[in-house]
Amino acid sequence: MRNLSEFVAPSKTAILVVDVQNDFCEPAGASGKAGRNTDAAMAMIPTLQRFLGAAREHGTNVIFIQTIHEPSTDSDAWIGRRSNPDAKNCLKGTWGAEFTGIAPRDSEPVVIKHRYSAFVNTRLDSVLRTLNVENIIVLGVATNVCVESTARHGFMLDYNTVFVSDCSAGYDQAAHDMTLRTHAMHFGPVATAQEIVDTWAATHSVAAAV
């Protein structure tokens, strides 16, 4: 089996930052107001901030995934999955749809998605192919829903897929842990942010500052 350094080589890798948005992370967001425990999501933000800083230093691509919901993409099937059809989150142009504690740089793509997987009816695959990406590092919220859906979909499209355990969070620790276990068994490596940063430091030179 290949070692972690091959899965995170900066020139061939992109980090997918999935749904780190107010409605999913902030206690005052839609998920928090609906009774979900957002403590884990908020707690992982400082680790994520440091990880993105290191990734940029090493020249790793960073792509932000942003959920946006609006009437034009909210199909009957999509709305019907909810126990409360009137529940709303990440509405276009609202505070809830904004990123939490992080922000893309001007050069970093933002991919808008309307379903759990960031590959469904989006430009993500095109962006990755254009950047000559072979490996994706997935992280964000919620571990067992949108992050997992994106990771599995990416693997099915033949991207090597790494899941970052401590830069992902859900609303249920058991579900979070099971997702990581399943990914490690069937889809690709699971690593902490520090393990990836240490791998970059040991095996890849720091990119020149721009």
Q: How far apart are CA 33 and CA 17, in angstroms?
A: 23
Given the residues 23, 25, 90, 146, select the one marked as catalytic: 146
Catalytic site residue from 19, 23, 25, 90:
19
Bridge partners for 164 per DSSP: 191
Q: Token pair for residue 115?
A: 């379903």
Q: Could you tell me where the DSSP H helices lie in 3-139? A: 4-7, 22-25, 30-33, 39-43, 45-57, 76-80, 124-130
Annotated active-site residue in 12, 113, 125, 177 = 113
Alpha helices in 8-143 (DSSP H): 22-25, 30-33, 39-43, 45-57, 76-80, 124-130
Q: Please confirm, yes or no, whether 92 is among the known catalytic residues.
A: no
Catalytic residues: 19, 113, 146
